[in-house]
């Protein structure tokens, strides 16, 4: 959850900049657009980070299995 909050706050900053410069011309609801962009970005980035962590864990398991196999 801590990772998500960090990513969400970062996305709020970048989403705010994006919305300030571009979305005001496209949509009338500033805060709605801002929160939707930040939420979607933070959810996407959090999923990617968690997938990266799981891949690293799997790599460690595979390496340990390869070492055990070599010892036999």
Nearest to 10 by CA among 58, 44, 59: 44
The model's pTM is 0.57
List the end-to-end C-alpha distance of the chain, in Å, as a whole number: 42
Give the pLDDT score at 63. 92
Give the pLDDT score at 53. 94
Q: Give the per-residue SS3 of 49-60.
A: HHHHHHHHHHHH
In this predicted model, what pLDDT tens digit does every residue of 17-60 receive, in sequence order? 877 776 666 666 777 777 778 888 888 888 999 999 999 999 99
Give the pLDDT score at 55. 96
Question: Does residue 9 carry a pLDDT above 70?
Answer: yes
């Amino acid at each position: 959850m801590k990772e998500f909050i960090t990513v969400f706050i970062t996305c709020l900053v970048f989403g705010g900049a994006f919305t300030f410069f571009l979305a005001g011309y496209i949509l009338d609801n500033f805060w709605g657009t801002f929160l939707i962009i930040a939420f979607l970005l933070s959810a996407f980035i959090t999923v990617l980070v968690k997938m990266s962590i799981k891949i690293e864990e799997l790599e460690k398991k595979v390496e340990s299995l390869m070492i055990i196999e070599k010892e036999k």
